[in-house]
Chains A and B, each alone.
Chain A
Amino acid sequence: MNSPSSTRTNLFQLLSRCSAHLRSEGVWIALVLMIMFGGLRYDSFLTEYNIMTFLSYNSMFILIALGMTFVIMSGGIDLSVGSVVALSSVVVAAVSPYGIEVALPVGVLVGVATGAINAFVITRLKVVPFIATLAMMLGARGMALVISDNQSVPVSWDSNFTHFGLGKAFDYLPWPVVTTLIVFIGCWVLLEKFPFGRHLLSIGGSEESSRLMGLQVERTLWGVYVLSGALAGLAGVMLASGFGAGQPLEGMGWELSAIASVVVGGTLLTGGLGSISATLAGAILLGLIFNILNFENGSGTITFSAYWQSVIRGGFLLVVVIIQAKIINKARAR
C-alpha cells in the first residue's frame, strides 16, 4: 500500500521540479535568444555604450522588481512602489544640496516609512495587501504632488548628488548599476542563506500552517514590505539624480511592470515559490523589448511608434502567463 503512493509522490515531486526548472530557466533561454538576435541584427547593440545605458536606465526597474519578488513570494502584492519612487524622488531632490551622503539615506527612509505603513495596515488592521498598498499608491502619489506643488523639483548640481545617477565607479561602471548589483547579491543571500528567506517561502505557501509551526509571520511580513518600500525609495534616488529632477508624476504603472517582471521570471503569484535571479532576467527581458524596438526604429526597416511598446509588452506577458498556467495546470492534473 505504501509503495505506490510514495512512487506517486516522487513522480509528482520530479514533475514539479521539472516544471520549476522550465519556469526559471525558460526566461534565461529567452534572454539569451533575444541578446543574440539583437547582437546579430544591430551593429551597435553589444557596444559598451548601449549596454551601460541600458543597464543604468533599467536599474530602477530591477530594484523595484526585486522588492516585488519578496512581496509576491510571501503571497502578497505591493501596488505602491511606483508612487513611492515618485515620492522619494521629490523628497530627495529637496535635500539634494546636502549631497548624496544625506540624500541617499533620506530616500531609502522615505521608502521604509511607506513600507512600514503598508506592513502596519496589512498585519495589524488585517487589510488585504492588494487594498492596503492600493491606498498607499494613492496616498504616496498625493504626498509627492503636495510636497512638489504639482511640479518637478530641480536638484542641486553643485553638490555631488547627481554624480550618483550619472557618474561611474572606477570610471567604468555607472553607480546605479553597481548599486543594483550589490542589492541583487544582498537579496539573493537574504533569500538563500538566511532563515528569513525560508520563512518567507513558507508563509507564501501557507500562512496558516506557518503560524501554527511557530514562525513569526507578522515580523517576516514587516520585513518584506519594508524591504520593498526601501528599494522603491532607492529607485527614487536614482530617478532624481539620474534625470536631474524629482518627478511627482513619474513611476505610474511601474508597479505593474515590476509585477510583470516577477511573473515573467517564473515566480508564482500564489506565493511560496520564486527566484531572485529569474526576476532579474525577467526585468532585463522586458527592458530589452523596448531597447530592440528602438534599434528597429533606428534601422528604418519598420516604424513602430512608442505606443507599440506597451502592446508588445502586454502580448509578451500574455504568452508567458499562458505557458506558466499550462505547466501548472498540467502538474496539478497529475
Chain B
Amino acid sequence: MTDTTITFGNSPKPLMFKVRNILTRNGTLSAFFLLILVNLAITPNFLEIQTLYVNLTQVATIAIVAIGMTLVIASGGIDLSVGALMALAGTVAPLIMLSDFGMSNPSIGLMVAIPVALLAASAGGLFNGVLVSRYNIQPIIATLVLFISGRGIAQVLTNGELQSFDIPAFEFLGTGRLLGIPFQAVITVVLALVCAWTLRRSIFGRYLLAVGGNEKAAQLAGVPVKKVKLVTYTVCGLLAGIAGLITTAINAASDANQTGQLMELDAIAAAVVGGALLTGGKAPVIGAVLGAAIIQLMGYTLLANGVHDAVAMVAKAFIIIVAVYLQQMRGGSK
C-alpha cells in the first residue's frame, strides 16, 4: 500500500520538474533564436561561415568557465577567482615550454606543461574549496583571496612580461580545427556533455544539487557536504585552467595582466542567463553554454553594427538584470 502511494504521489513531480526545466531552457533558447533573427535582419554578412568560426572561437572560453561557475553556483556558492586562475594556468604552461628543458625536449615539455598548468589551476580551486568547506568562509570572500593574489602570482612568475612562443602543437588548442570545427568548440561541447551527464546520472550530481538546495538537510541526510564542495570548487578551477590554456594558445602568447580579465563577470552572467539560481540547487550546464553563446552573440551583434564597445557593457548589465528578474518572477509564481 505504502509503495503504491509513494509512486503515485511522486510520479507527477519529476514530470512537472522536467516540463518546467524545458520551459526555462526554452526561455533562454528563444532569446538565443531571437538574437539570431535580429542578426539575420541587420548584421551584414551574418550568414558567412567566417562569422560562425569567429563566434565559436571566442565563445569557448566563456562557456567553459561558465560551466564551472554553474556547478559552484549550484552548490550555493560563487567563484570570483576564475579569471585569476586562467591567468595562472596560461602563464605556467609557457613557462615550462619555454624553459631550457622544454626547449630541448619540445614534446615532453608539452606533455608536462599542460598537466602542470591544469594542476596549478585545480590546486587554486581546491584551495577555494578548503576555505569554503573546512573554514566555513563565505564563498565570495574565500575566492576573493585568490582573485587578488592569483593573478599576482602569475605576474610575479613572469615579472608581468608577455611570453610569446611558437609551438604549433600547443597553439592547436586555440587555432586548430577538428573536422573543420574549431578545436576549442569541440572541447567545450565534450566538457558540457560530460558535466551535464555527471549531474544527471551520478551520485555526485544528486549530492551537489542537494547541498545547494538545502545544506543542512543534505548534511542530516548523510551527504558528504564538505567533500562535495571541495570537488566542485576544484572542478571549477580545472575548467578555468583549461580556458586559460585556450586563451594563451589563441594568442600564441601568455599575458598574466590580461588573460581572463573580467572573466568572472562573463561567467556569472552566462550562468545566470542560462538559468542558474544564485541561491543554489539548480545546475543547468547546457543552459550555461547557451548563456555564454547569448552573451558572445550580443557582443558580436553590437560590434558588427559599429556600436561602441562600452555601450555593449551597459547592454550586458541590462540583460543580466532582466534575466534574473524574469527568473525570480517565474520562481515566485510557482
List residues of A (104-125) whose CB comes within 8 Å of B's CBs. Answer: 121, 125
**A269 interfacial by beta-carbon distance below 8 Å:** yes
Q: Do B160 and A307 touch across chains, with their CB atoms under 8 A apart?
A: yes
Contacts of A308 in B (CB 8 A): 152, 156
Partner of B149, one of A134, A269, A305, A314: A314
List residues of A (54-94) whose CB comes within 8 Å of B's CBs. Answer: 77
**A10 interfacial by beta-carbon distance below 8 Å:** no
In the bound complex, how far is the Cα of B142 from the Cα of A321, in angstroms? Answer: 8
**Interface majority SS on B: helix, strand, loop or mixed?**
helix
Q: Do B148 and A321 touch across chains, with their CB atoms under 8 A apart?
A: no
Contact of A269 with B138 at beta-carbon distance under 8 Å, contacts A127-B328, A315-B149 already known: yes
Q: Do A77 and B140 touch across chains, with their CB atoms under 8 A apart?
A: yes
Contacts of B321 in A (CB 8 A): 121, 125, 127, 131-132, 135
Q: Do A269 and B135 touch across chains, with their CB atoms under 8 A apart?
A: no
Contacts of A125 in B (CB 8 A): 321, 325, 328
In the bound complex, how far is the Cα of B313 from the Cα of A329, in angstroms? Answer: 40
CB distance from B154 to the nearest CB of A (A): 9
**B303 interfacial by beta-carbon distance below 8 Å:** no
What total of A-B pairs shows CB separation below 8 Å? Answer: 143
Which candidate, A140-148, A203-211, A219-227, is the interface stretch facing chain B? Answer: A140-148
**Interface majority SS on A: helix, strand, loop or mixed?**
helix
Contact of A142 with B310 at beta-carbon distance under 8 Å, contacts A131-B320, A132-B321 already known: yes
Q: Do B328 and A126 touch across chains, with their CB atoms under 8 A apart?
A: yes
Residue among A270, A314, A322, A325 facing the most chain B CB atoms (10 A cut-off): A314
**B56 interfacial by beta-carbon distance below 8 Å:** no
Contacts of A307 in B (CB 8 A): 152, 155-156, 159-160
Which candidate, A160-168, A238-246, A255-263, is the interface stretch facing chain B? Answer: A255-263
Q: Do B265 and A311 touch across chains, with their CB atoms under 8 A apart?
A: no
| Identity of the chain A residue whose Cβ is nearest the Cβ of B159 in the assembled complex | A305
CB distance from A327 to the nearest CB of B (A): 11
Partner of A146, one of B150, B152, B310: B310
**A128 interfacial by beta-carbon distance below 8 Å:** yes
In the bound complex, how far is the Cα of B138 from the Cα of A259, in angstroms? Answer: 13
The interface size of chain A toward B, counting residues with CB under 8 Å, comes to 50
Q: Do A145 and B320 touch across chains, with their CB atoms under 8 A apart?
A: no
**A138 interfacial by beta-carbon distance below 8 Å:** yes
**B103 interfacial by beta-carbon distance below 8 Å:** no
CB distance from B223 to the nearest CB of A (A): 20
Q: Do A317 and B145 touch across chains, with their CB atoms under 8 A apart?
A: yes
Contacts of A198 in B (CB 8 A): none
In the bound complex, how far is the Cα of B184 from the Cα of A206, in angstroms? Answer: 46
Contacts of A77 in B (CB 8 A): 140
**B227 interfacial by beta-carbon distance below 8 Å:** no
Write the B153-173 contact mask toward A (1 if CB under 8 angstroms, else 0).
101100110000000000000
**A309 interfacial by beta-carbon distance below 8 Å:** yes
In the bound complex, how far is the Cα of B268 from the Cα of A256, in angstroms? Answer: 16
Partner of B272, one of A131, A138, A309, A317: A131
CB distance from B23 to the nearest CB of A (A): 21
In the bound complex, how far is the Cα of B136 from the Cα of A306, in angstroms? Answer: 32
CB distance from B113 to the nearest CB of A (A): 22
**B35 interfacial by beta-carbon distance below 8 Å:** no
22 examples of A-B residue contacts, CB within 8 angstroms:
A125-B328, A128-B324, A130-B140, A131-B320, A135-B318, A138-B317, A141-B310, A142-B310, A146-B314, A256-B80, A269-B141, A306-B160, A307-B159, A310-B152, A314-B147, A314-B150, A315-B145, A321-B131, A321-B135, A322-B135, A322-B137, A325-B137
10 interchain residue pairs of minimum CB distance: A314-B149, A142-B313, A145-B310, A310-B152, A139-B317, A307-B155, A142-B314, A311-B152, A314-B148, A135-B317
Which residues of A come within 8 Å of B, CB atoms?
77, 121, 125-128, 130-132, 134-139, 141-146, 150, 253, 256-257, 259-260, 263, 269-270, 305-315, 317-318, 321-322, 324-326, 328-329
Which residues of B come within 8 Å of A, CB atoms?
78, 80, 131, 135-138, 140-142, 144-153, 155-156, 159-160, 265, 268-269, 272, 278, 308-318, 320-321, 324-325, 328
Q: A126-B328, A257-B148, A315-B149 are in contact. List 12 more A-B contacts (CB 8 A).
A: A128-B278, A132-B321, A134-B265, A135-B321, A138-B313, A139-B313, A269-B141, A322-B131, A324-B137, A325-B135, A328-B136, A329-B136
